[in-house]
């Protein structure tokens, strides 16, 4: 019996003895020590001056793309200094949506993208991620799709709000023009249109 127990212990998967890799918080802490993060204090200052510094966690705001691994890109990415303030109007919209309980800043999956990363991620050559005015979110559920669409219809024209649905729980928000779209990037497939047409 003792021998069988020793054999069982010896046969446990080696992976059980290997420490897990660093989680995202640890990866972000490491990234902040790299030359790529040198402009972070200036970005934080720009957001603070725009009164949006606390809207979403910086770690989430700087997520580059859902496909960063597949694209062999940086997980976190700062926008160029001349585009730092461009995200402020979008963060003000996000602040209102968060206050209503319809999305959470932790759910950001993509902010600013470089041209190469945007292309690899399947983004349009006119993507607003290139200009640092867009954020992609993963929602916990589709429970607030109708609320988001109602907000877009009533407040979107004044806010120049774009609202896209890649799926009912993967959405895009920007402040680069009043428009909406769905899975094929057409207005007619947006949930804000299709749900409004359902009897």
Summarised one tens digit per residue, pLDDT across range 41-83 is 999 999 999 999 999 999 999 999 999 999 999 999 999 999 9
- Residue from 174, 132, 117 nearest 43 by CA: 132
pLDDT of 199 reads 53
What's residue 195's pLDDT?
Answer: 86
Q: CA 91 to CA 96: how far, in whole Å?
A: 9
Q: What percent of the chain has pLDDT over 90?
A: 86
Q: What is the mean pLDDT of residues 134-142?
A: 97
| Rounded (to 5) percent helix, strand, coil in the chain | 50, 10, 40
Other C-beta atoms closer than 10 Å to the C-beta of 104 total 17
Q: What was the pLDDT predicted at 197?
A: 74
> pLDDT value at position 134?
98
Closest by alpha carbon to 62, among 74, 45, 46, 51?
A: 74
8: pLDDT strictly greater than 70: no
Q: What percentage of the chain has pLDDT greater than the value 70?
A: 88
How many other β-carbons are positioned within 10 Å of the β-carbon of residue 10? 7
Domains and CATH numbers, the chain: 21-29+38-197 (3.30.1380.10)
Cβ neighbours around 2 below 10 Å, total? 6
Q: Cβ distance 187 to 179 under 8 Å?
A: yes
Q: In terms of Cα–Cα distance, which of 66, 176, 69 is closest to 126?
A: 176
Strands (E), 63-188: 108-110, 134-138, 162-167, 170-174, 179-181
Nearest to 87 by CA among 133, 137, 136: 133
Question: Which SS3 state, helix, strand or coil, does residue 10 take?
Answer: helix
Tell me what pLDDT residue 198 has.
62
pLDDT: which is higher, 2 or 54:
54
pTM of the predicted protein model: 0.87
- Segment 139-173, tens digit of pLDDT: 999 999 999 999 999 999 999 999 999 999 999 99
Q: Given pLDDT bands bounded at 50, 70 and 90, which one contains residue 174?
A: very high
Please determine, for residue 1, whether its predicted confidence score (pLDDT) is greater than 50.
no
Specify the residue for token string 């993208």.
Answer: 113
d(CA 78, CA 151): 29
């Amino acid at each position: 019996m003792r021998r069988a127990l020793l054999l069982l212990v010896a046969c446990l998967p080696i992976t059980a003895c290997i420490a897990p890799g660093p989680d995202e918080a640890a990866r972000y802490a490491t990234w902040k020590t790299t030359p790529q993060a040198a402009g972070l204090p200036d970005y934080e200052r720009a957001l603070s001056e725009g009164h949006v510094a606390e809207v979403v966690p910086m770690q989430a705001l700087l997520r580059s793309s859902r496909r960063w691994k597949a694209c062999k890109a940086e997980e976190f990415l700062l926008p160029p200094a001349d585009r730092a303030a461009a995200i402020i109007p979008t963060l003000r919209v996000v602040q209102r949506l968060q206050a209503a309980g319809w999305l959470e800043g932790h759910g950001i999956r993509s902010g600013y993208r470089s041209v190469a990363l945007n292309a690899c991620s399947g983004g349009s050559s006119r993507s607003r991620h290139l200009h640092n005015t867009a954020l992609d979110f993963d929602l916990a559920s589709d429970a607030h799709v109708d609320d988001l669409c109602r907000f877009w219809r009533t407040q979107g024209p004044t806010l120049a709000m774009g609202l896209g649905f890649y799926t009912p729980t993967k959405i895009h928000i920007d402040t680069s023009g009043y428009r909406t779209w769905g899975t094929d990037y057409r207005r007619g497939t947006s949930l804000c249109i299709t749900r409004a047409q359902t009897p």
